[in-house]
Amino acid sequence: MKNNNHKFLSVFLVAGFIIGACLGMTVSSFLDLNLGFSISLGSGFGMLIGIVIGSVIDDERQKKEK
């Protein structure tokens, strides 16, 4: 790939989605919440955190290359 500017953003987005869904299932079992709501909320927050972390890493990497 020639344009690989957002490599870490993609990786952390997917990782955040998966980890957030797993945490949502775990929390819903302990707190006796609706499973679908917990999975969707956990996945959403996980993806948001993954976007922030991946963007920061990609931004720092691009600053070092320049």
**pLDDT tens figures, 10-66:** 899 999 999 999 999 999 988 888 989 999 999 999 999 999 999 999 888 888 877
Taking the C-alpha atoms of residue 35 and residue 28, their distance in angstroms, rounded to an integer, is 6
Q: What is the pLDDT of residue 66?
A: 74
Taking the C-alpha atoms of residue 62 and residue 66, their distance in angstroms, rounded to an integer, is 6
CA distances 58 to 48, 55, 62, Å, are 15, 5, 6
| Residue 2 binned pLDDT confidence (cut-offs 50, 70, 90) | low
Tokens 């990782």 correspond to 15
Cα 33 from chain centroid (whole Å): 22
Taking the C-alpha atoms of residue 58 and residue 34, their distance in angstroms, rounded to an integer, is 36
Q: What is the pTM of this model?
A: 0.82
